[in-house]
C-alpha cells in the first residue's frame, strides 16, 4: 500500500515493491504537493507517475476516493443491501483480482474501472470522489450502490 502525499513519490522505495501487487490510494493536490506539470496538463495520471517511480510494481489504484472515516463506517458484509461500491483501476488482471478479493473481505463491492490510464475518472474532484459517500461532517457516511457509482464514473470529465 502506498499512501503518501504525491510529492513524496520520489522517496517511496522501489526495490521492495518490485513484482508485488501495490495499492495506490494517493490523490494529487497542487496546494499540498506543489505543481507537477505532467499532472497539471493531464499528460499523466498520478498513478502513472507513481508507476514511473515503481516500475516493477503491479499497481492498482483503490480507496483514493473515500474519506478514511467513511471507509471504516460504511463496511458491510457480502450480500448486505446497503453495501457500498469502490472503483479500482490497474493494468494487471491478477493484481486487480487480489485487490478485489481483499476489498470484498473488508466490506466493499468493487467496480473495475479499467486500466491505470483511466484513473483520472476517480481522481480528486470527480463525481466518484468523496461525495457519493456523504459529507465529511457525517462520519457515518451514506452507502453508495452500484448504479450510482457506475453513473458517477461515466459522468467524469477531464
Ligand atoms: N485521509 C484520507 O481520508 C484519504 C482518503 C483517500 C485518499 N487519501 C490519499 O492518501 C494519501 C495519504 O493520505 P493521508 O491523509 O494519510 O496523508 P498524510 O497523513 O499526510 O501522510 C501519510 C504518510 O505519508 C508520509 N509522508 C508525508 N510527507 C512525506 C514526505 N514528504 N516524504 C515521505 N513521506 C511522507 C507520512 O509519513 P510520516 O508520518 O513519517 O511523516 C505519513 O506516514 C494522500 O495522497 C491522500 O490524498 C487520503
What torsion do the CA atoms of 39, 37, 21, 77 make, to the nearest 10 degrees?
Answer: -30
Distance 2 CA to ligand 1 centre (A): 9
Please work out whether the CB of residue 26 comes within 6 Å of at least one atom of ligand 1. Answer: yes
**Which atom from ligand 1 is nearest to the alpha carbon of 46?**
45
Q: Residue 66's pLDDT is what?
A: 98
- Domain locations along the chain: 6-154
Task: Give how far Cα 73 sits from Cα of 1, 5, 82, 100, 120, Å.
Answer: 20, 24, 12, 19, 26
Classify domain 6-154 by CATH architecture: 3-Layer(aba) Sandwich (3.40)
* Beta strand 21-24 pairing with 58-61: parallel
Q: Point out the residues of the chain with pLDDT beneath 50.
A: none
Ligand 1 neighbourhood includes 34 CB (under 6 angstroms): no
Q: What's the confidence (pLDDT) of residue 111? A: 98
**22-45 burial: b if 16+ Cβ within 10 Å, else e:** bbbbbbbeeeebeebeebeeeebb
Amino acid at each position: 500500500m502506498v499512501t503518501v502525499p504525491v510529492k513524496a513519490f520520489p522517496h517511496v522505495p522501489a526495490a521492495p515493491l518490485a513484482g508485488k501487487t501495490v495499492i495506490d490510494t494517493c490523490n494529487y493536490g497542487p496546494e499540498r504537493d506543489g505543481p507537477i506539470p505532467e499532472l497539471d496538463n493531464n499528460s499523466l495520471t498520478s498513478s502513472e507517475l507513481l508507476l514511473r517511480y515503481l516500475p516493477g510494481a503491479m499497481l492498482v489504484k483503490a480507496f483514493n476516493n473515500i474519506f478514511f472515516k467513511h471507509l471504516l463506517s460504511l463496511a458491510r458484509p457480502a450480500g448486505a443491501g446497503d453495501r457500498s461500491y469502490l472503483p479500482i483501476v490497474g493494468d494487471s488482471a491478477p493484481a486487480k483480482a487480489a485487490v478485489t478479493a481483499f476489498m470484498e473481505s473488508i466490506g466493499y463491492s468493487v467496480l473495475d474501472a479499467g486500466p491505470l490510464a483511466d484513473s483520472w475518472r476517480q481522481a480528486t474532484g470527480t463525481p466518484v470522489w468523496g461525495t457519493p459517500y456523504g459529507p465529511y461532517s457525517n462520519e457515518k457516511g451514506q452507502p453508495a450502490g452500484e448504479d450510482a457509482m457506475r453513473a458517477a464514473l461515466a459522468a467524469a470529465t477531464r
